[in-house]
Structure 1
Amino acid sequence: MTIRVVIADDQELVRSGFSMILDAQPDITVVADVGDGAAAVAAVREHQPEVTLLDIRMPTMDGIEAARRICAESASRVIMLTTFDQDDYIYEALYAGASGFLLKDVRRDDLVHAVRVVAAGDSLLAPSVTRQIISDITGRHRPGPPRSAAAPDARLDVLTTRERETLHLLGRGLANAEIAQTLVVSEHTVKTHVSNVLTKLGLRDRTQAVICAYETGLITAGEN
């Protein structure tokens, strides 16, 4: 299957560079590259790409709002293009539905790998990195005492006991193999539990599952 990609960045050199790299791959095609968020939303509506790369700061409509609209209207998975000085936007981007992040100076091979990973339905951030970022950002953006783990959010009522355990381990940043070892089940069973958790809670991917684990009090930011 060919992975269709839309690239949105207000810097033409970034767009053209990423386009050349991705178009050189036999399984990836850049169907549009645009310079602002509104054009990105329009391009996704027209081309229905598997992956959309969005710069966070763009004219007309920023990447956060564009991600929110794209994730609400389509099945396209979003990768945010960012720099180290834009960490304050990461929390909002995750809630908008972003599946991961790339630095604009990303290496060629890492860019290609990222597009393939996200197109396959996985989050771009490694589990340990996901945990670190979400722990830091939820701590800075959600002040006040965390919800007691003994009295978690009512949203979790739709989950079975084993699905709650799976979500808790996702929140701790464990990969499927580690969850399988912890719960003493097969990886296939873990994949089923993860799929059920995402479906029942209306989450797009593992990254949003991590956020949900913190938000509902199932796991706290300081938990290891």
Structure 2
Amino acid sequence: MISLFVADFLPLPEQNDTSLAMSYLQDFKAACSRTRKMDLGDFALSEEHMAIDQTILNAVEETGHIPFAQRAENAFNVNFGMFHMLAKKFHIPGATMTIGNVAVNGEMRLPVQHGDFRKMVADQTGEDNLGRYHIWTTLPGGWILDHAVLSGLHGDGIVTVNDMIPAERFIYGDADALPHGLTYHPMVVGVEFFVASGTIDQEAMEYLMGERFPKQYS
């Protein structure tokens, strides 16, 4: 079972031609349907975009303690922590944990396929497969918030990031119009997957997503 403490992560497809042609909201709805069929919850996303003020985005970004250069290898902890802060500290409505793959110019960055998630739940191998999939936050209107992906792209020489500027360290934008050729491919949604797949135990999840905060984050 993964050892996740608030201080640790607060700063951690089945590829087919038809899904690649879908809009992000269509892809997200398919992921919600897949999640429901796996009995991991019933999710829906408002199609109306609600802009988040840049000062809030920067404040969320600056809560992270994992250095930018190390975010790619700690992507789970980074993006889970940022999702937690966005939803539970800043109370941004409609934020949804999203699990799947990310591509650059049509090339998937990770090996995960749709069917792998059902197998992870059946075999309790979510923790063993952390490096095979990506997580991010989906916001109403089909907007993406990802604090880890640019670290990997920068490290691979695909983009250049000035990590001294908070707003350059994360992706926030319309999923169908992102920079750097980025496209996101949701496969399942919701934190329930992490419990069901043996990635995080139920007690830890209840603490992490509960209404009480460690004093240093209140």
Q: Which TM bucket (shorter chain)? A: under 0.3
Q: Which has the higher contact order (CA 8 A, sep 6+)?
A: 2
Q: Which has the higher helix share?
A: 1
TM-score by length of 1: 0.24
TM-score by length of 2: 0.25
Larger CA Rg, structure 1 vs 2:
1
